[in-house]
C-alpha cells in the first residue's frame, strides 16, 4: 500500500463528517461515527490450496493475512480442533480507506452480475457493522490467476455508528451500490 492519504479518507474527513453533523444533529465533530476496520475472510477446506489463497488475500488487503484454526471439534462438519479452517486479515486506518476505494470503484464494478448490496446485511449488536460476500475473488485486480475454482470472500465493515441509518448513510455517501428495493 502506498503511504499517501487515500482520497476516500480525505472525502470522509472534509465533506462526509460535515454532512453527518447536519443530518444527525451532532453537536461535536468527535460524536460523528466512523469506520474503524475492514475484515476480509475466507473459508478454507482441505480441497483448496491454502498457501495460494493466503497469498491472494494478502495481495488484496495489502498486508499479511493470517490462518485461522478451529477452536473446538465439530464432528458433523468433519472439523477437528486445531485444523486450519480459514484465513483472515483486518485492515485499519489509511490502508482501510485504500481498500474500500478499490472495493467500491474497481471490484464491485468488475462483479458482472452484481445486483447491488442488500440492505438486510447490517449487524446492530453493539456497534453497527455491514457484511457481504463476494462469490469470486478474481474481481480484484490483484488476483490474476485464471483458476477453474470460484473462491469467495467475506467482507465485514465495522463502524462506531449507533444506528443502522447512520451506517447506511456513510456507505451510500462513500459510493456503495445498494439494491433499490
For residues 52-64, give the mean pLDDT.
Answer: 85
Please give the tally of structural domains in the chain.
1
Q: Give residue 63's domain range.
A: 30-174
Does residue 19 lie within any of the structural domains? no
What is the per-residue pLDDT across 135-147, written as a single tens digit (0 to 9) for each?
777 777 677 766 5
| Cα of 150 vs its chain's centroid, Å | 18
Give the pLDDT band of residue 37 (cuts 50, 70, 90): very high
Does residue 11 lie within any of the structural domains? no
Q: Give the count of beta carbons closer than 10 Å to the beta carbon of residue 98.
A: 21
CA distance 53 to 65: 10
Does residue 13 lie within any of the structural domains? no
pLDDT of residue 148: 47
CA distance 181 to 177: 12
Q: Give the count of beta carbons closer than 10 Å to the beta carbon of residue 157.
A: 25
Does residue 179 lie within any of the structural domains? no
Question: Does residue 73 or residue 23 have the better pLDDT?
Answer: 23
pLDDT of residue 149: 61
Question: Does residue 105 or residue 89 have the better pLDDT?
Answer: 89
For residues 149-168, give the mean pLDDT.
Answer: 87
Does residue 25 lie within any of the structural domains? no
3-state secondary structure of 110: helix
pLDDT of residue 42: 86
Does residue 122 lie within any of the structural domains? yes
Does residue 108 lie within any of the structural domains? yes
Q: What is the CATH number of the domain that holds 43?
A: 3.30.1440.10
Question: Does residue 139 or residue 168 have the better pLDDT?
Answer: 168
pLDDT of residue 46: 66
Amino acid at each position: 500500500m502506498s503511504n499517501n492519504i487515500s482520497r476516500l479518507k480525505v472525502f470522509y474527513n472534509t465533506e462526509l463528517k460535515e454532512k453527518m453533523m447536519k443530518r444527525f444533529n451532532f453537536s461535536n465533530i468527535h460524536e460523528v461515527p466512523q469506520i474503524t476496520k475492514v475484515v476480509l475472510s475466507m473459508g478454507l477446506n482441505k480441497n483448496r490450496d491454502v498457501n495460494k489463497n493466503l497469498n491472494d488475500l494478502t495481495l488484496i488487503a495489502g498486508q499479511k493475512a493470517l490462518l485461522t484454526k478451529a477452536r473446538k471439534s465439530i464432528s458433523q462438519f468433519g472439523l477437528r480442533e486445531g485444523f486450519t479452517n480459514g484465513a483472515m486479515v483486518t485492515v485499519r486506518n489509511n490502508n482501510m480507506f485504500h481498500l474500500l476505494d478499490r472495493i467500491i470503484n474497481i471490484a464491485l464494478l468488475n462483479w458482472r452480475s452484481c445486483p447491488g448490496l442488500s440492505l438486510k446485511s447490517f449487524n446492530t449488536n453493539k456497534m453497527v457493522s455491514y457484511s457481504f460476500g463476494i462469490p469470486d475473488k478474481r474481481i480484484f485486480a490483484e488476483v490474476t490467476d485464471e483458476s477453474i475454482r470460484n473462491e469467495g470472500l467475506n467482507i465485514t465493515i465495522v463502524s462506531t455508528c449507533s444506528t443502522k441509518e447512520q451506517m447506511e448513510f456513510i456507505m451510500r455517501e462513500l459510493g456503495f451500490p445498494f439494491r433499490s428495493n
